[in-house]
Structure 1
Amino acid sequence: MLTRRILTAASMAGSMLAAGSAFAQGQPIVGISTVTTYSADARITAVDPNARTVSLAFTNGATAVRQVSPTVANFAQTKVGDMVSLAFEDRLTFVLSGPNTKTPRDRDTTVTVATGGGGSVAGASAGQAVANWWVTAVNPSAGTISLINPGGGEVRTYNVTTPEGRAQLPRVKPGDSVTAINSSVAVIAIMPK
């Protein structure tokens, strides 16, 4: 029997599929998975041990909430007000679009669907962050790609982690646009400052 909850869930799932297929119509050329590590100094403004997150105020005035990797052994000792030096691991998946292909607009979308009945609840949540970057340099022999956010910031060099992505690096040229379709930033070390 179709209920309003099932119809709502189906409608939301259809919206997610439509968003994915709209990107596919742009005929992306190749997917490239990357990982890079970097460090920054920050003051801890909140700690959530259950979610394993820290809220940070960086020395440049920026703020962020970051997931803390299970490998960080001293997470239990972190407290609000600590000035720390953090190491981050930034994982991204990029899609290179063909020449004259319009890239999707930047967006951060989360869809949550829940349904219940008979004392039980079932749900699902899906998220997608889409951001466009410009290629500043490519080094196929080293397996790296350097990118900058068109909105500003520093040039970041990423290590391409998959053999399939490394094989496609010769196709990427400075000035190309790539779209980040998945991202994950995790704190991998916390050191007192």
Structure 2
Amino acid sequence: MVQAAAGDASLVAQAAGGSEHAFRTLYRAYVRPVYWLAHGLLGNAPDAEDVTQETFLVAWRKLRGLELVGDSLLPWLVTVCRFQAANRIRAQRREREHTAEAADDSIPSTVNVEQQVIDTEFAERILREVEGLSPLDQDIFRLCASEGYAYQAAAEQLGVAHGVVRNRLSRIRTRLRTVAEEST
């Protein structure tokens, strides 16, 4: 461990006064024990490195008001490291819970195969019925029902009167409704 002869109290006072050299000396003296403590708490190197850096960042910010108890800065750094590690563990837990909740919301708890088969058969019947329509009626259905065209816009696209689109679409819907009622 790197340590100055004057002890940590003197280095802490110098670092609190803005001495980067004193702070670097403290850092070099305690970075390894702080890292290994963080690694033991978190279980992986990347998080341990982050928590070690966060610990020394807190130390740099709080040295001015620090009253060192004893000859070593290490017990205080250990306490800061434990708090930083606990914060990281809580944040990771919240992230996992949030991710799990999002996954739970997007994935159905069960897959109803029977309902999927019924839905597929129903869609196929509707498609067969639409395929049996005249070409103009197929175009009206495609534009109005599938693509969301208004009657007038569909009429202009197809070169027919507004009333033709309205009346034919009404008949198409009635025909498809009949197919749907037969399916249930």
TM range (shorter): under 0.3
Structure whose residues are more often strand by fraction: 1
Larger-Rg structure: 2
Structure 2 length normalisation: TM-score? 0.19
Structure whose residues are more often helix by fraction: 2
RCO comparison, higher one (Cα < 8 Å, 6+): 1
